[in-house]
Structure 1
Amino acid sequence: MKLGIGIGWRPEIAAEVEALTGVDWVEVVAENLCADHLPDSLVRLRERGVTVVPHGVSLGLGGADRPDAERLAGLAARAELLGTPLVTEHMAFVRAGGPLTASPRLEAGHLLPVPRTWDALEVLCENVAIAQDALPVPLALENIAALVSWPDEELTEGQFLAELVERTGVRLLIDVANLHTNHVNLGQDPAKALDELPVEAIAYVHVAGGVEKNGVWHDTHAHPVTAPVLDVLAELRSRVDPPGVLLERDDAFPPGAELAAELETIRGTLRTAGGPRGARTGARTGTTAPPAARPGARDRTAVAQTALLSALVAGTPAPEGFDHRRLRVQSRALAAKRADVVAKVAPELPEILGDGYRAAFLDYARSRAMSDGYRRDALDFVERILVSGGLPDPVAQRRLTHWWEDRSGPRPPSRTTRIVRAARAVLAEK
């Protein structure tokens, strides 16, 4: 299907997206949509004939566990609601631990790279097959950006993607900004990756901005698209005419005129890059079901991913073979992202805590890994403050206590709950 030129729809720029001319389609984060109704802006776009594609971020198809049936059902419901021609997700893991490792469940709150090994490939292929069976439309998977690389990998990124397509028939969502990120951070050649992957399997392309700090490229989606990223887009266009190209922006949103200018730059890059010089056509269509993962592949993958994620979010020793400096950079980035997202899902907290919010949250994150999403993370953060002695400002203490009780939900009172209630009773007497 020919999608054309698109842009990521976000609530913060809904009006700007509606006003843009020449936008053929939009992509929306699937988890940000209700399963039974759409925001008015998306309704209006669909009425104008604009295709809307849901982009999932939480399935974790590269993880050791089989895909969660409830998450799959939610993604399928959003696909039906949107009448979309396809859905997309990522070649990544986002959680680890649990029954396969008899260890606590850990959440990354971020897309982390899978090891490019035969074990991880077999697990991913089996998970993709499960997802394909549960979804009403075709699935495409995105390559991700990484700050760290796994030791002892057995395949290049291009080979890994080619094998995935050959075994499952899944489509590809190629993010050229992520290819550039991996070039800067990991020394991987984008041109080589494009030469090795089956470009005929590309469903569409992402283009996004980032920033380099101290020799590390951060895929922020909050900065303008840079020339090196556009160069990778031109490399891809010289190999294939992609069915769709989409501009992503997730934060620090510019005025509509700047978004329009970036879209025009993307169009210009596609026009001047030249036609395909010959695409790979060797990949099979994936019409036969991929074999189940070999015995032990899930267990081995689970142990490896849990060790890495635990080092990143729980302060355990770094697994052997990883770059310790890069792990520290990734760990700080994950904690900062947690602080930013919690501030968005619970904006009252930085308002109550003021300038002390960020330092307090980062201190909390160093000793407490996320295990059940950002909203639970916000509650756990406030519980820690209240249990550890609260705040010196009685007004802030009272507001924080009320905030926690209003959102903790009906459940048997834990020790923490009893402490919070006791604190509120003391405050009420003052």
Structure 2
Amino acid sequence: MPGPGEREPRGQRLGTGIGWRPEIADAVERMPGVDWVEVVAENVCPGHLPESLLRLRARGVTVVPHGVSLGLGGAERPDEGRLAALAERAEALGSPLVTEHIAFVRAGGALTASPGLEAGHLLPVPRTRDALDVLCENVRIAQDALPVPLAVENIAALLSWPGEEMTEGQFLYELADRTGVRLLIDVANLHTNHVNRGEDPAAALAELPLEAIAYVHVAGGFERDGVWHDSHAHPVPRPVLDILTDLASRVLPPGVLLERDDHFPEPAELEGELESIRKAVATGRATRSRQTPATAPTAQTPATAPTAQTPHAEPTHRRPAPAGTTPPSATDARRPATSHQSAGRTTHPEPTASVPPARRTPATGPAMPVPGVEPGPQTPDTGPARPVSGCAAARQRLGLAQAALLSALVGGTPVPEGFDRVRVGVQARALAAKRADVVAKVAPELPVILGEGYRAAFLAYAQARPMSGGYRRDALDFAASLLLAGAPKDAAARRELRNWWLDRSGPAPRPRRRATRAAHAARRALLRR
């Protein structure tokens, strides 16, 4: 419960939680002090929920589905089938809310008249007016389709987009202000972006609408060659806990959750990390209670929390002052800046509109150019003019830019102008490695059949074959490519791989598309072997 005079975001109090994964399901059930769990939405079937989750629910433990494949930051409108699946899981789990990411996961297709490509991972959206317009419309579509409130998460990034027009805090603030969506703040991702993009976590926290926070993620990672990788497979480092403490000194988060997706340690180590998270929050609360009103970070005006009946009610945030302006408040002028607490700023209440007029701040740069697409008309004060409703042109410009980047990452095409080529290479290798890891999880027989040669063979395959149909399809296509090339060389392994592929490739319906015809041609060829 909040202390005397302590402000907190509206919404359900969740407490301290941990990401539920099958590998640690038994340990999670036995852990003391676990108030709630989060489950990857795509990994559970509503009609066949894992017994562990059912037992947790029976004990009163809240379960929140966390989506990873919706791609709300993509240029296309959210897929109705994916939205329906997310809604179904929320209802089956009796969840008070659902969460997704501010990211794009696919690009190309009809919008850009180019082949559709899958990233297999969360990629950052450019912090531009085009991307914000598209994201806001996609979030509203999702809110209308879901039976419970939606919260969206800031993501970690290995690279930066050229020509960005807003900071992360400004981008998230406008998103929450325009849609009423709640925010899932990942403090580990703020640390990642600090290392990889030079962004100050305290500055981002200072610009956020703190009252819109639904809950907080905490996770571990590792640094290699000056790049931080958000692995979710390593212990939570001290800098991430420090950012959590800074956040808790500003506002009481409704919930904090530990994420771990791989290399699971002993239960005692996970329990120790949960205790470290509790201590970090307690330290922040103690700092907040000791501060005077003149020095404490200010919690902003509470927003109207979205409900199932009013999925995107307009909040009443105070809008942050433009970057680069001098705060006139004597209170803010006295507030010191530290490594995890930026200098204060004055906020100015404004009337809230469903789509506020586009405007430029001193920090705003030129709009991101997209080859082949003419920019909109310019005005001296507001930048590109946009209609109040509809964003078809913005979708096309964003779609072309995202398709060009994703094609460079997974298809080996030239790196688009303005991107750091080294960082694009780092991201491309990270995507290929993740793709190999996930295929090994969804098709665990493949590493067994191929042995030590699995990873090298898959990475060679991935370099020439971008993913376009999900990980299970990817596993089948990988096996088929090996067999058609006469691999593996060992006859027994090749026979085992052939039987595995035939068992899972399913019946052969009448071919209707080029890709389908190619798949069935491969099947016929393999059957003749």
TM range (shorter): over 0.9
Partner of 1:278: 298
**Matching of residues 49-64 of structure 1 within 5 Å:** 49-64=60-75
Q: CA deviation at 1:284?
A: 7.6
Q: 1 or 2, which has the higher helix percentage? A: 1
Aligned counterparts of 1:84 and 1:351: Cα–Cα separation in 2 = 38
Is the 2:120–2:435 contact (alpha carbons within 8 Å) kept by the matching residues of 1? Answer: yes
Partner of 1:385: 482
Q: Give the stretch that moved more between structures: 403-412 or 73-82.
A: 403-412
Q: Give the stretch that moved more between structures: 388-397 or 161-170.
A: 388-397
User: Is 1:356 the equivalent of 2:376?
Assistant: no
2:413 counterpart SS class: coil
For the structure 1 residues 5 and 282, does the alpha-carbon distance in structure 2 shift closer, same or farther, using more than 3 Å as the test? closer
1:238 counterpart SS class: helix
Write the deviation string for residues 366-396 of structure 1: whole angstroms up to 9, x where unpaired: 1110001000001111111112233321111
Is the 2:218–2:240 contact (alpha carbons within 8 Å) kept by the matching residues of 1? Answer: yes
One-letter amino acid matched to 2:441: K
Q: CA deviation at 1:419?
A: 5.0
Q: CA deviation at 1:36?
A: 1.9
Write the deviation string for residues 57-85 of structure 1: whole angstroms up to 9, x where unpaired: 00000000000000000000000001111
Q: Give the stretch that moved more between structures: 56-65 or 392-401.
A: 392-401
Aligned counterparts of 2:424 and 2:34: Cα–Cα separation in 1 = 39
Q: CA RMSD in A?
A: 1.5
Partner of 1:221: 232
Aligned counterparts of 1:215 and 1:131: Cα–Cα separation in 2 = 37
**Matching of residues 38-57 of structure 1 within 5 Å:** 38-57=49-68
Identity score, percent: 70
Is the 2:119–2:431 contact (alpha carbons within 8 Å) kept by the matching residues of 1? Answer: yes
* Alignment TM-score, normalising by the size of structure 1: 0.96
- Which residue, 201, 212, 225 being the options, matches 2:223? 212
- Which residue, 83, 88, 111 being the options, matches 2:94? 83
For the structure 1 residues 213 and 268, does the alpha-carbon distance in structure 2 shift closer, same or farther, using more than 3 Å as the test? same
Q: CA deviation at 1:421?
A: 4.5
User: Is 1:375 the equivalent of 2:472?
Assistant: yes
For the structure 1 residues 88 and 13, does the alpha-carbon distance in structure 2 shift closer, same or farther, using more than 3 Å as the test? same
User: Is 1:33 the equivalent of 2:44?
Assistant: yes
User: Is 1:249 the equivalent of 2:275?
Assistant: no
* Bigger Rg, which one: 2
Is the 1:4–1:25 contact (alpha carbons within 8 Å) kept by the matching residues of 2? Answer: yes
Could you tell me which runs of 5 or more consecutive residues in structure 2 were left unpaired when the two chains were aligned.
1-11, 289-295, 306-311, 315-353, 356-387, 512-516
User: Is 1:142 the equivalent of 2:168?
Assistant: no
Partner of 2:248: 237
Q: CA deviation at 1:281?
A: 2.5
- Which residue, 283, 287, 291 being the options, matches 2:313? 287
**Matching of residues 81-230 of structure 1 within 5 Å:** 81-230=92-241
For the structure 1 residues 388 and 87, does the alpha-carbon distance in structure 2 shift closer, same or farther, using more than 3 Å as the test? same
2:460 counterpart SS class: helix
Is the 2:446–2:454 contact (alpha carbons within 8 Å) kept by the matching residues of 1? Answer: yes
* Alignment TM-score, normalising by the size of structure 2: 0.78
2:46 counterpart SS class: coil
Aligned counterparts of 1:182 and 1:293: Cα–Cα separation in 2 = 31
Aligned counterparts of 2:518 and 2:147: Cα–Cα separation in 1 = 45
Is the 2:160–2:419 contact (alpha carbons within 8 Å) kept by the matching residues of 1? Answer: yes
Aligned counterparts of 2:27 and 2:496: Cα–Cα separation in 1 = 36
Partner of 1:305: 402
Could you tell me which runs of 5 or more consecutive residues in structure 1 were left unpaired when the two chains were aligned.
none
Aligned counterparts of 2:53 and 2:165: Cα–Cα separation in 1 = 43
Q: Give the stretch that moved more between structures: 394-403 or 162-171.
A: 394-403
2:228 counterpart SS class: strand
User: How many residue pairs get matched?
Assistant: 426
Q: CA deviation at 1:237?
A: 0.7
2:414 counterpart SS class: coil
Aligned counterparts of 2:518 and 2:409: Cα–Cα separation in 1 = 29
User: Is 1:14 the equivalent of 2:25?
Assistant: yes
The runs of at least 4 consecutive aligned structure 1 residues that moved more than 3 Å come to 282-286, 288-295, 412-426
Write the deviation string for residues 308-327 of structure 1: whole angstroms up to 9, x where unpaired: 00000000000000000000
- Which residue, 10, 13, 16 being the options, matches 1:5? 16
For the structure 1 residues 337 and 28, does the alpha-carbon distance in structure 2 shift closer, same or farther, using more than 3 Å as the test? same
User: Is 1:327 the equivalent of 2:424?
Assistant: yes
One-letter amino acid matched to 1:162: Y
Aligned counterparts of 1:67 and 1:419: Cα–Cα separation in 2 = 33
Is the 1:116–1:154 contact (alpha carbons within 8 Å) kept by the matching residues of 2? Answer: yes
Q: CA deviation at 1:403?
A: 1.1
One-letter amino acid matched to 1:404: W
Aligned counterparts of 1:92 and 1:126: Cα–Cα separation in 2 = 14
Write the deviation string for residues 15-56 of structure 1: whole angstroms up to 9, x where unpaired: 000000011000000000102231000000011110000000
Is the 2:484–2:526 contact (alpha carbons within 8 Å) kept by the matching residues of 1? Answer: no
Aligned counterparts of 1:5 and 1:48: Cα–Cα separation in 2 = 16
For the structure 1 residues 216 and 293, does the alpha-carbon distance in structure 2 shift closer, same or farther, using more than 3 Å as the test? farther
